[in-house]
Amino acid sequence: MEIILYSIGVLIGLCGIVKGADWLVDGASALARKFRITEIVIGLTIVAFGTSMPEFIVSFFSALKGSGDMSVGNVMGSNIFNSLVILGATAFVATVPVGRRALWVDIPWSIVAAVGCWLICFDMPLWPKATNELTRAGACIFLAVFVIFMGYNFWLAKRSRHAMEVQETTVSNRVITLQILVGLLTLVLGGRVMVECASRVAHLLHVSEAIIALTIMAGGTSAPELVTSIVAARKGSLQMAIGNAIGSNVFNVFFVLGLAGIIQPMQIRDLNTLDLLMFVASPIILWLMAFFFHRINRWMGLVLVLTYLAYLVQLIREAIA
């Protein structure tokens, strides 16, 4: 009976996520038109920040209760999900063109985030006295890089205003603000309800925290990014779709883990080599597709999704072993 009730809670949370994503994309698109800001910049900043809030909530509370595996595993799993499933599913809706900026700036930022997390949080030869721990010093590095990332995007947004034609919009500033705020709030609440209920279901089935973080928690907290990108693609805002997924990867590592690590340093125990390899390899696979084809079409999206499913099958095998 408990499992049924929590499953209903998952569906309620998903409904909130879907509606919140719709409001958020409408408001962000209107904001981009009104202030002559490119949609990919909006996706990399405002939308990515809002859709990364569920990851922050989960990682924050996980850090407070001393569960480093759940906190870091949630971010790692979410980033793998973003790179493989979100952009893969978006490509089924519409072919996603990858411009020069996304190829040489935005996707590389996602790779830097993954490699940086590996170097700082896990045992690596280049990192002296590594203890598989996110210390406050490491968290400060994350936040410093996050400030650089945000500063660069705001500078780019300011520069892009002069290169764009003014696009008329009948939506008032009050309505735009309301759409963005209500959309973000609904996304966060829906994501929170969905993750909490899904986590309870997993615990009732006696699954370890690391597996929960990498699968159910990661999928649940990435649901806002997934729905937002698909809705954006259906509305023709393809650059916002890719900017949202890539921007969320950067936010998750540098902002989410950075802030959570400063509040409470985290010890990491159960995340294995396969998880780390997928964490770093997923944005690299995305970059290689962009480099050779300059777009992500349906068959590429299928490859991305199948890669994630193969990884998921291996995680399930570990869980039941």
* The pLDDT value given to residue 288: 95
Bridge partners for 133 per DSSP: 267
List CB contacts of 248: < 8 A, sequence separation 6 or more: 48, 51, 52, 55, 78, 79, 82, 222, 225
More confident residue, 262 or 217: 262
* The pLDDT value given to residue 304: 96
Burial of 108: CB neighbours in 10 Å, binned 0-12, 13-18, 19+:
middle
Report the alpha-carbon distance of residue 86 to residue 110 in Å, rounded. Answer: 14
Q: What is the 3-state secondary structure (H, E, C) of 246-257?
A: HHHHHHHHHHHH
Looking at domain 2-320, its CATH architecture is Up-down Bundle (1.20)
Largest Cα–Cα separation, the chain:
59
How does the average pLDDT of the chain come out, rounded? 81
Tell me the pLDDT tens digit for each residue of 149-204: 888 877 876 666 544 444 555 678 888 889 888 988 887 788 778 777 877 777 78
Of 226, 216, 239, 256, nearest to 296 by C-alpha is: 239
* The pLDDT value given to residue 107: 92
Look up residue 216 and give its two tokens: 């159910």
Tell me the pLDDT tens digit for each residue of 78-89: 999 999 999 999
Bridge partners for 97 per DSSP: 295
Q: What are phi and psi of 296, to 5 degrees?
A: -125, 105
Question: Is a pLDDT exceeding 90 seen at residue 134?
Answer: no
Of 289, 303, 266, 317, nearest to 74 by C-alpha is: 266
Tell me the pLDDT tens digit for each residue of 263-315: 888 888 777 788 889 999 999 999 999 999 999 999 999 999 999 999 988 88
Place of tokens 């890669």: 307
